[in-house]
């Protein structure tokens, strides 16, 4: 048992986000973030390969789709 019981808004947040534990949403968001950081925002790598671009954009689009429908 926890030292302190926190309820109210914290319990509501915990309950609302519990459904995400049963999805691969974390991995999806991580893939989007990695692509964004490597090729878009920080441009750590040059994006010259059409296949990497295609796969990254498909993952990004499918990720947004998953995020939306997880909420609705």
Q: Per residue in 42-53, pLDDT tens?
A: 888 999 999 999
Closest CA to 28 of 62, 53, 69: 62
Kindly report each contact of residues 32-37 with a partner whose C-beta sits within 8 Å and lies 24 or more positions away, as own/partner: 32/59, 32/60, 32/63, 35/59, 35/60, 36/60
- Output DSSP code: residue 8: T
Q: Per residue in 14-56, pLDDT tens?
A: 888 787 788 888 899 999 999 999 999 988 899 999 999 999 9
pTM of the model: 0.67
Cβ distance 61 to 53 under 8 Å?
Answer: no
Confidence of residue 12 (pLDDT cuts 50, 70, 90): confident
pLDDT of residue 2: 61
Cβ distance 20 to 70 under 8 Å?
Answer: yes
């Amino acid at each position: 048992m926890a030292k302190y019981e926190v309820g109210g808004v914290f319990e509501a947040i915990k309950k609302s986000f519990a459904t995400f534990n049963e999805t691969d949403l974390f991995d999806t968001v991580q893939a989007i973030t990695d692509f964004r950081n490597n090729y878009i925002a920080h441009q750590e790598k040059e994006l010259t390969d059409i296949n990497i671009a295609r796969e990254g954009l498909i993952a990004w689009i499918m990720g947004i789709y998953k995020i939306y429908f997880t909420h609705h």
